[in-house]
A and B are shown apart, each in its own frame.
Chain A
Amino acid sequence: MSSSGLPSGVRLHGFAGIGLRSLRTRPLRSVLTTAGIVLGVGMAFGVMILVTTIHSSFGNLFSAIYGNTTVIVSGKSMVGSVPEETLAKVQRVDGVEAAVGGISGIFRVIDENGEASSGRDATLFVSGVDFDAPDPSGSEIVSGREPSGPRDIELEQGWAEQQGIEAGDRLRLATPSGVTQLNVAGIFALRTSLDLGGYGTAALPVATARELTGKRGVWDEIDVIGADGVAAATLQRRIAAVVGPGVEVATPAGRGEEANEAMAGLDIVLYFFSGMAIFVGAFLILNSFSMTVLQRIREIGTLRALGASRRRVATSVVGEALILAVVGCLLGLALGVALAEVLAAAMRNLFGLPLANLDITAGAAVVAVIVGLLATIAGSLYPALRAGRISPIQALTGGAEIERRPGLRRALAGTALFLPGLAVGGLFWFSNQSGGALAALVGVGSTVTMFVGMVLLAPFVVMPIVRLLAIPARVLMPAEGRLAADSLRANPLRTSATAAALVVTLSVVVVNSMLSASFIGSIDDELDARFARDLTVQPAGYSEYGPPMSGIDSSLRRKVAALPAAGTVTPRRIVYMTHLPGSEEPGLLTAVDPDQWSRVDHSEYEGASAAETMTGLAGGGAVIGKGLADETGLAIGETLVLKGASDTARVPVVATVDTLEANGNLVTLSLATMKRVYGIDSDSVLAVTAASPGQRKQLDGEVERLLERDYPGFEAVSNEEFKAQYGDAIDQQFAFFNAIIGIAVVVGLLGIINTLSMSVLERTREIGVLRALGGSRWRVRRTMLDESLLISLAGSIAGIAAGLFVGAAWIFSIRESTLVGLKLQIPAGILIVIAILGVLIGTLAAILPARRAAHLDPLKALTYE
C-alpha cells in the first residue's frame, strides 16, 4: 500500500480523475479548447475593462476639473454659450458664494518646425478664467506663479511634464484667430490627478481667451461655488429659476453621468461584438466535446456497464469541460488586460476619447469568469447529455455511433430562429438607440437568436458548397481530393459545425463592411450632388463625428474672403447634440448663411424650393432632416421648440432635407437664429468657391499659403479629400468593431484545427493504407490540407453569403424607413480579403494535423484499432 492510503499503482482519488486523465491523453484538443475559452473570456474581460475605463475617465475628469465647483451653468449638453449678463443673475442668487464665468477653446501646440499637429498630445483645452475670482477648480500652483499679464498661461502638471514644458518657457499656439505666443507663467495641479489620455488643459486670462477664440458677449459656462450649508440641489433649483429653459444647471457629478449616458450606445455595441468571441468559444467547446464523446463511446459504455449512472457520465463530461474552463478563464483574464490596453489605445487614437489608465475592477473579472464558465456549461451540455444516452451495450459492440444526417426538423428550427432574429435584430440596430436596457437586451438577444439559427442552418448551406468545391479538388488531385471530400461528407454535422464558427463571425464582418461601404458610397453620392464649393477650410483633422475641435474665428473668414481668387466664402456652424430639439436622439445642429449658402450647396429640399427654404431660414425658420422628421412626426409648417443657452425660440419648420449626414438627425438654422438661441458665433468649417472656375488652382495655392503662414491649426481640403475623410471616419468605426470580431475568427480557426486532428485520428488506418501503398508523406499532408481548405473555404463562402443576405435585408429595411438615400454597396474588396482569409485559415489550421498524419508510422497505423 502506498503512503497515501491508495492501492499501489493507483493515483486516482475518485471518478473525476478518470476524466482528468483522458484530458491529458488529448493534449492538442484540450489546449485548443482552452485557447478558445482564453480568447472568449479575454475579449469579454478586455471590453468590460474598456467600458469601465471609458466611464471612470469621464467621471474622474469632471470631479478633477471641478474640484471646488458646486454647480455648473452652461448650455444644455454643453452646447452653446450663455449671454454675458447671465453671470450677474447667477451671482445674485441666494446661497451663491461665488460665480465665475469661463470661456473655453481648443488650441494646438506649434512644434519647432512650425507645424501644428492634430494629435492628442498637441491639443490643449484652454479656459479663460478670472484669476482674481475664487478658483472653482480648486487647483494649486506647483511651480512658477499664477498668470498676471495678458500673455500668460498656466498648464496642468501632468501634461506639462509629459511635454517637458516648465514655468518660464514660451509656448507657440495655433488658435482660432491665428498663431500666438504665450508665456508659461506657472504649472498647476488639480486636487485629483487628471489623465486625459494625452490631451492637455490650461488656463489663461479671460480677456486673452476672448481675443483668441473670438467669443465676445457670452460665457461658455459659469462655475458656481455654493455657500456653506447650501445643498447643491437647492442651489440648482434656485439658479434654474433665474436662467432660461435652454440653460443647464448641473452638478459636476451629473455632468459625468451625462457624458456616460451619451456613451451607452457604444457600450452595447462593444459588449455585443465581444460577446461574439464567447459565443464562438462555447461553440468550440460543443464541437470538441461532441467529438470526444463520439470517440469514447466504448469507454463510456464500459463505465455504464460497470454501474456508472447516466448522471455520473454526463457530469463527468461537463466536469472535464469545467477544468479546461477554469484554466482558460484565468489565462483569459491576463489576456483581457492586454486586449483592453490595445483597445483603449485604439479608442484614443481613432476617436480621440480622453481615456485614462485602465480601470480594472474585480467585479469585471468575476463577471468575465462567470460568463466563461456559463459558456462552457452551455457548450458541454449537449455532448454530456449525449454521453449519458450511450447504452452499456455499446461497450460490447463497440460500434461507432453513426452521425445523424441533418433533418427537416433542424431546417425548420433554424429558419424559425433565423428569420425573426434577423427582423427584430435589424430593428434594434437601426432604430434610434434610445429604448434603454430592455430594448438593448431584446435587440442583442434576437441577434444572437439569428446566429443560433444560422448555426442550425449551416449544414444545408455548407455541405452543398463542400460538394461543389470538391469537384475542382478531385480534378486537380484525384486521390487526395476525394479522400478529403469523403471524410468531410461522412460527418456532415461535424463539418458544418466546424464551418459554422466561421460562417457566423465572417458574416458579421461582411455585414459591417457592407454597411460601411453603403454609407460611405451613398454619402459620396450625396456630397457629389450637393457640394457646389471648391474647397473646405476646417480645423486640421476635423470630423463631424470626431473629437471636439477649435472653432474658426471671423478673422480667418475675412482673410480668406479677401484672397484675390476667392469667390464665395461662407461658414457652416456644426454642433453635436446628445439630444436634438424635440427629440431624445443625438444629432447635429447646424447653421448657415441663407444669403450665401445656395452658392456652395445644392441640397434638394422637400416641401419648398431651395430659394423658399433659404428665405424661410432667413425668417427664423428651421430645416430638419428626414430622420428627425420621421422620428418626431414634425411636418412642414409645424413648430420646433429650440431651448438654447441664450434664448428659447419657437421656430417654424420650413422644409425637410433628405440627407445621410447624422442619419438624417439634423436641424439647420440661419447663423442669426443659432447665435440668438444658442449664443454660438464661431464657424466650424468654411465653404469656399473660386471667383471663377479658372481660378480654382490659384485659390488652392492662396488658401494654402494663408493657412501655413497664419493659421497652422487649419487645413484646406478639396471635395475629394473631404469625401475621403468622411469615409475614413465611418470606416474607422467599423474597422474597430471588425478588429474585435477578429478574435472570434481566431477561435473559429482553433475549431478547424480541432476537427482536423480528430479526422487524422479517425483515419489513421486509411492513412496507413495510403502510406503502405507508396503514398508519400507529402500526399498525406495534401489530404489534410485539402480537407482543411474545403472546410474553411466553405465556411468563408457561406459566411459571405449569410452576411450579404443579412446586410441586404437590413439595408433595404432602413432604406424603406429612414435613410431613403441609402444605396446598397457590396464591399468587393472586403469579400476578396475574406476569401483569402479563408484560404489562409485553412492552410494555417492544417499545419499541425498534417504533420501528425504525415509522421504516422505506416505499420502502426495499419494495426491501429
Chain B
Amino acid sequence: MVAIMGPSGSGKSTLLHILGALDRPDGGSVEIDGRRYDDLPDRELTNLRGEVFGFVFQFFNLLPTLTAAENVLVPALVNGERPARYAERVEELLAKVGLGDRAAHAPTELSGGEQQRVAIARALLRRPRLVLADEPTGNLDSSAGGTVMSLLRDVVDEGQTVVMVTHDPGAAALADRVVFLRDGAIVGEVAGGDTGAVIDAFRDVEAGGGALQRALA
C-alpha cells in the first residue's frame, strides 16, 4: 500500500486520476505491468478502468437507488456481466467488510463508514490489479475512518495493491510507503508504520521541504 500526501494543489488527485485512467497526462507516460496506457483511446481506457483498477471515492459515490449488494455488483453490471455469476463473490465481500447482514439496505440506511465499506467491497469485486482510493476517510469521523483503514490494511495483507491519497497522517502511517508531492513533483518518501514520522515529514513538506530533501540527499 502506498499513501500519497501533499498540500492542496500539489497534484495528488491529478496523479490518482492519471494512474486510474480517468484522465490523461499532459506529458510523460503511464504504464502498468509494462503496458503503457496514457495514449489509449477512450474505449480501451474504459476497459482498463473496469478490469485493472478499483476505485474508492471520498464521497463514497454509491448509487442511491441500488441496495448495498447491488452497488457491489455495479462493476460487473457495467461490464455487461450476469449478476448470478457473482453471487458468492458479493456475499463473500460483504461479509469481509462486515456488512453481510445489510445486503438489501439502501445507501441512505447506512452510515458513512458503512457506505465506504460497501464502496471498498465494490472496488474489489473484479479482483483489480490496483485499488485507487481518493481520501477514503476524508468524509468520515475518526472511528469510522479507523474501521475503513484497518479494512484496507487487511485487504493489502491479503495481497491487494492499494494506492491512496490522504490528508490524514494516521491513515497514511498504515501504508507501507508514504510518498510526498509538492507542485506536481515527488519531494520525499518515508516508510509507513510510524504516525509521528509521517507527521514530521508532512510538516516539513508543507514548510518547504528542506529537511526532508537534505535527508534524501
Contacts and interface: CB of A to CB of B under 8 A. Distances in A.
Given A18-B63, A306-B49, A12 B23 contact: no
A307 B78 contact: yes
Contact of B80 (A15, A21, A24): A15
B110 interface: no
Nearest to A305: B55
A8 B84 CA distance: 10
A145 interface: no
A122 interface: no
A14 B84 contact: no
B82 A393 contact: no
B61 A395 contact: yes
A374 B43 CA distance: 28
A310 interface: yes
B37 interface: no
Interface stretch (A78-86, A296-304, A343-351, A557-565): A296-304
Given A7-B86, A305-B55, A391-B22, A21 B65 contact: yes
A819 to B, nearest CB: 59
A25 B65 CA distance: 7
B68 interface: yes
Interface string A398-417: 10000000000000000000
B163 to A, nearest CB: 15
B214 to A, nearest CB: 35
Contact of A7 (B51, B57, B73): B73
A756 B90 CA distance: 40
A308 B104 CA distance: 23
A306 B75 contact: yes
Nearest to A24: B65
Interface in A276-316: 298-299, 301-310, 312
B77 A310 contact: no
A507 B139 CA distance: 53
Given A307-B75, A393-B22, A398-B59, A18 B69 contact: no
Interface in B1-50: 13, 17, 20, 22-23, 42-43, 46-47, 49-50
A229 interface: no
Interface in B139-182: none
B91 A7 contact: yes
A396 B47 CA distance: 19
B61 A298 contact: yes
A1 B103 contact: no
B69 A8 contact: yes
B65 A22 contact: yes
Given A1-B91, A302-B61, A396-B13, A6 B84 contact: yes
A5 interface: yes
Interface string B124-143: 00000000001000000000
A805 B55 CA distance: 56
Interface string B114-130: 00000000100000000
B79 A5 contact: no
Nearest to A303: B78
Contacts of B94: 9
B78 A10 contact: no
Looking at chain B, what size class is its interface with the partner chain? 35 or more
A306 B54 CA distance: 7
B13 A306 contact: no
| Most A C-beta atoms less than 10 A away, residue of B23, B61, B94, B122 | B61
Interface in B61-97: 61, 63-70, 73-75, 77-80, 82-84, 86-88, 90-91, 94
Interface in A1-40: 1, 4-15, 17-18, 21-22, 24-25
A158 interface: no
A308 B49 CA distance: 8
B83 A13 contact: yes
Nearest to B65: A21
Contacts of B23: 391, 393
A9 B83 contact: no
A306 B67 contact: no
Contact of B57 (A12, A18, A395): A395
Contact of A307 (B49, B90, B103): B49
B216 to A, nearest CB: 31
B58 interface: yes
A306 B17 contact: no
Interface in A725-771: none
B61 A7 contact: no
B31 to A, nearest CB: 19
Given A307-B78, A392-B49, A12 B70 contact: yes
Q: Is the interface of B mostly helix, strand, loop or mixed?
A: helix
A775 to B, nearest CB: 27
| Most B C-beta atoms less than 10 A away, residue of A18, A22, A301 | A18
Contacts of A1: 87-88, 91
B103 A8 contact: yes
A317 to B, nearest CB: 14
A173 B206 CA distance: 108
A222 B214 CA distance: 118
A10 B125 CA distance: 15
A386 to B, nearest CB: 15
B46 A310 contact: yes
Nearest to B135: A396
Nearest to B78: A308
A17 B102 CA distance: 21
A303 B80 contact: no
A392 to B, nearest CB: 4
A13 to B, nearest CB: 6
Contacts of A18: 63, 65-66, 74, 77
A115 B154 CA distance: 99
A393 B21 CA distance: 10
A535 B118 CA distance: 89
A310 B50 contact: no
B87 A306 contact: no
B63 A299 contact: yes
Contacts of A305: 20, 22, 49, 55, 57, 61
A834 B103 CA distance: 55
A11 B50 contact: no
A21 B74 CA distance: 13
B46 A8 contact: no
A306 B66 contact: no
A15 B57 contact: no
Contact of B104 (A8, A17, A312, A392): A8
Contact of A312 (B68, B78, B122): B78
Contacts of A301: 61
B12 to A, nearest CB: 12
B59 to A, nearest CB: 6
A14 B80 contact: yes
Given A306-B122, A396-B13, A10 B22 contact: no
Nearest to B42: A310
B77 A7 contact: no
A9 B51 contact: no
| Most B C-beta atoms less than 10 A away, residue of A5, A7, A8, A25 | A7
Contacts of B49: 304-307, 392
Nearest to B132: A305
A14 B82 contact: yes
A391 B22 CA distance: 8
Contacts of B50: 306-308
A304 B57 CA distance: 13
B51 A11 contact: no
A632 B133 CA distance: 81
Given A1-B91, A9-B69, A306-B78, 5 more contacts: A8-B104, A12-B70, A15-B78, A17-B77, A391-B23
27 contacts: A1-B88, A5-B87, A6-B87, A7-B69, A7-B73, A7-B91, A8-B69, A8-B104, A9-B105, A10-B103, A11-B67, A11-B70, A12-B73, A12-B77, A13-B83, A14-B80, A17-B77, A21-B66, A22-B65, A299-B61, A299-B63, A304-B49, A305-B55, A309-B43, A395-B61, A396-B13, A398-B59
Q: Which 3 A-B pairs have CB atoms at the shortest separation, nearest pair first?
A: A307-B50, A9-B103, A9-B69
